[in-house]
Amino acid sequence: MQETAATAPQTGRPALILASSSRYRRELLERLRIPFDTAVPAIDETPQPGETPEATALRLAEVKARAVAAALPVGTGRALVIGSDQVATFDGHQIGKPGTHERALDQLRAMRGREVLFHSALSLLDTATGQTDTVDVVTKVRFRDLPDAALDAYLRAEQPYDCAGSAKSEGLGIALLEAIESDDPTALIGLPLIALTRMLLAAGYPLLAPQEAQP
């Protein structure tokens, strides 16, 4: 595991582990100003036959959390493991990460002037009980009807080839969007922080505890 916070968890705080290799999720979790580690879950992320986008996202979020929890060393104290997965769907089909400029341009061409649903699933596993709290946060995104030249210029400027939907709403990609509808503005970026903070507080994590005085 890689520790991404400046200090180890304070006494009485369970360890917090983000089961993800995504830099976007790591950057979002850093907004909460709490110590956490990251671990990459070794799982197969292929959708199962006949599986809905929502079911895929929910299943993979929990599988990621359980895979990382199962790999913790024997004797590890209580930990809260965060699993998350996002599946975009358009015309009933799942949209993956484009990987290349050409595929990203094809995605944006198909989606212009249309609505895309993003299922951002979140699962918090408590190793003390083995129980998970799992939720799917849905974001509706309507893309602007822009010409090929504008779509190509955007892709060359931001190169969002590791993003499902081929646009970064937190960056220049916002210019491609007509509207975003969601209960959680961070869900579209990859980690629903409103849902996560609710889960952490329900698990007894001292998210808003007073800071210890420095000597």
What is the pLDDT, as a whole number, of residue 17? Answer: 97
112 — pLDDT class (breaks 50, 70, 90):
very high
DSSP per residue over 16-50, as a string? EEEE---HHHHHHHHTT----EEE------PPPTT
Please state the rounded mean pLDDT for residues 135-159. 97
Q: Phi, psi at residue 131, to the nearest 5°? A: -90, 150
2 — pLDDT class (breaks 50, 70, 90):
very low
Please state the rounded mean pLDDT for residues 38-51. 89
What are the structural domains of the chain?
A: 2-202 (3.90.950.10)
48 — pLDDT class (breaks 50, 70, 90):
confident
Whether the CB-CB separation of 83 and 63 falls below 8 Å is answered with yes
Which residues lie across from 175 on neighbouring strands? none
For the record, the structure tokens of 165 come out as 């939907």
Burial 157-182 (b: 16+ CB within 10 A, else e): ebebeebbbbbbbeeebeebbeeeeb
pLDDT surpassing 90 at residue 94:
no
Please tell me which residue in 37, 85, 133, 184 is annotated as part of the active site: 85
Is 183 assigned a catalytic role?
no
Q: Is 2 helix (H, G, I), strand (E, B) or coil?
A: strand
Q: Chain-wide mean pLDDT for the chain? A: 90
* pLDDT tens per residue across span 16-44: 999 999 999 999 999 999 999 999 998 88
4 — pLDDT class (breaks 50, 70, 90):
very low
What is the pLDDT, as a whole number, of residue 30? Answer: 97
Q: Specify the pairing of strand 93-95 against strand 37-39.
A: unpaired
pLDDT surpassing 70 at residue 193:
yes
Q: Which residue do the tokens 């998970």 mark?
A: 132
**Prediction pTM value:** 0.86
Sign of the C-alpha dihedral, residues 179, 181, 184, 186? negative
